[in-house]
Structure 1
Amino acid sequence: MKVVAPKSFTFEGGKRAVLLLHGFTGSTKEVKKLGEFLQKKGYTCHAPMYRGHGATPEELLETGPADWWESVVEGYHHLKDRGHQEIAVAGISLGGVFSLKVAENFPVKAVISMCAPIKRDSTDGLFDRLYNYAKIYKSFEGKSREIIIEELEKLKHIPQDALHGVHAFTENTRKGLRSIKSPTLVLQGTLDDAIYQESASFIHDEVESIEKEIIWYEQSGHIITTGKEKEKVCEDVHGFLEQVEWAEPALALV
């Protein structure tokens, strides 16, 4: 069975724009509900699908952070090319790291980092995430248990350059946090792994933003945009964006 890969999306709203960024082995589905919510509040939202993502795990490993970052930059310019002069950026997990990197390199009205592993000092856990993705993907393809086991074993022997690249990219982004002066919102689930919780506090403390805030979600784990408190996440993101000084008003959809 052919798996239909998730795609990039653009939800048209007003002149205020938000770039939405998904996580490693994830897809734009992770930020779709947030995009739909913000669109109804008058924001145009664009979420790029990174190269290699949504495809087979083997194809994913043929790409790396440089390719995914290029997709992010293209997403930012996609909004610029459509005439949006004021852009905020929000990302989940690795997308949270990318959102911080965008704020370090481009003008943004605000940055929202959700469950970003900025304190990760190794590739620990990355292959496990890829392995779990592979099991799910191959199951959706309708492959037999025997073939899935065989292909998962082969996956272990494919060069893991992409995973090492994630660590280097994250470390580089961490070093630039003090250059971020845009309003910053950090969101974190308290049921998430310790590295993400440590990262949330670190990001909040390190950025040079005068306007910065951290919100914890007591019933949420890692992908808070699709978890038990997803509605509150949407409301908190919108509430924060409404505090930002935009040149253009938000025109909520009726």
Structure 2
Amino acid sequence: MIKIVPPKPFFYKEGEKAVLLLHSFTSNTIDMKKLGKYLQKNNYSCYAPLYSGHGLTAEDLLTYRPSDWWQDVLNGYQLLKDEGYEKIAVIGISLGGVFALKVGQELEVNGIVTMSVPIHREALFLQKRVFHYAKGYKQLEGKNEEQINLELKRLQNMSIGSLVEFQQLIEITMDKLALLTSPIRILYGELDDPLYKESAEVIFQSSATNQKTMKGYPNSKHLMTLSTDNNDVNKDILTFLNDLTW
């Protein structure tokens, strides 16, 4: 059996302007490493928290709830404040994008970037994501197919209460889009599920700020920061950050 080394949060310190980087559901901080290093080279300090249970087994992941993950985001924001950063922007992808919107609704930020954000997702769809993640993780561990199938069957009996809470979190956050008054950049991949383009349009129309832009990337699927468009994505995000009032 192969022991998988769990991923970690990262903190790239550089300039006085700070960026909170928020990864996606069932993924980890690797979503944000290329972007973080790019922004660091351009004089931005970047911190990416790792949500509880992420990077571990699916069984461990399901023992945590979105309220735990949201607390990880709040702790990340507070860490930047405690380090002396007074000006903070937030960037998130997928679940991280939902959290970025929530940060913008509840905390003081200079700007918001969202990527691949859903305006709704059913708990059963999220459960499929967990099963897909579980299968890949178990394969990486070196388990045989019979063992994997047995463990996936057991996984089906675990409570999906956390995923129902996740579905509700998305709905509540989308109901409060009118609270967004900070500048916002809304990005989506043209090769992703059409839901994400529709979601981008809803977020664009519903945000209260008059400093908002939306863009699709022709060669991007869901994880835009790791797509073949990632250089363009990074440059556009840097331009947005540089244009903010800090």
Same fold (TM over 0.5): yes
**How many angstroms apart in 2 are the aligned matches of 1:121 and 1:149?**
26
**How many angstroms apart in 2 are the aligned matches of 1:32 and 1:111?**
18
- Matched with 2:229 is 229
**How many angstroms apart in 2 are the aligned matches of 1:86 and 1:19?**
11
- Listed one character per residue, the Cα deviations across residues 211-252 of structure 1 (whole Å, up to 9, x for unaligned) are 100011011111100011011110010000111011xxxxxx
Q: Secondary structure at the match of 2:198?
A: helix
- Matched with 2:31 is 30
- Listed one character per residue, the Cα deviations across residues 114-153 of structure 1 (whole Å, up to 9, x for unaligned) are 11112x1522421111111101111111112211110011
**How many angstroms apart in 1 are the aligned matches of 2:195 and 2:157?**
27
Identity, % of aligned positions:
42
**1:154-169 residue pairs with structure 2 within 5 A?**
154-169=154-169
Q: Please report how far the alpha carbon of residue 157 of structure 1 lies from its aligned counterpart in structure 2 after TM superposition.
A: 1.1
Give 1:149's aligned amino acid: N
- Listed one character per residue, the Cα deviations across residues 33-80 of structure 1 (whole Å, up to 9, x for unaligned) are 100000000000000000011111001000010000000000000100
- Matched with 2:173 is 173
The Cα RMSD (Å) is: 0.8
Give 1:136's aligned amino acid: G
**How many angstroms apart in 1 are the aligned matches of 2:14 and 2:116?**
26
Q: Secondary structure at the match of 2:214?
A: strand
**How many angstroms apart in 2 are the aligned matches of 1:13 and 1:117?**
32
**How many angstroms apart in 2 are the aligned matches of 1:14 and 1:179?**
29
**How many angstroms apart in 2 are the aligned matches of 1:125 and 1:39?**
35
- Listed one character per residue, the Cα deviations across residues 4-33 of structure 1 (whole Å, up to 9, x for unaligned) are 111000001101000000011010000111
- Matched with 1:196 is 196
**How many angstroms apart in 2 are the aligned matches of 1:109 and 1:134?**
37
- Structure with bigger helix share is 2
- Listed one character per residue, the Cα deviations across residues 147-175 of structure 1 (whole Å, up to 9, x for unaligned) are 11100111111110111011110111011
- Matched with 1:78 is 79
Q: Note the residue ranges of structure 2 that are not aligned, 5 or more in a row.
A: none
- Matched with 2:63 is 62
- Matched with 2:18 is 17
**1:90-109 residue pairs with structure 2 within 5 A?**
90-109=91-110
Higher relative contact order (CA 8 A, sep 6+): 1
Q: TM-score, normalised by structure 2?
A: 0.98
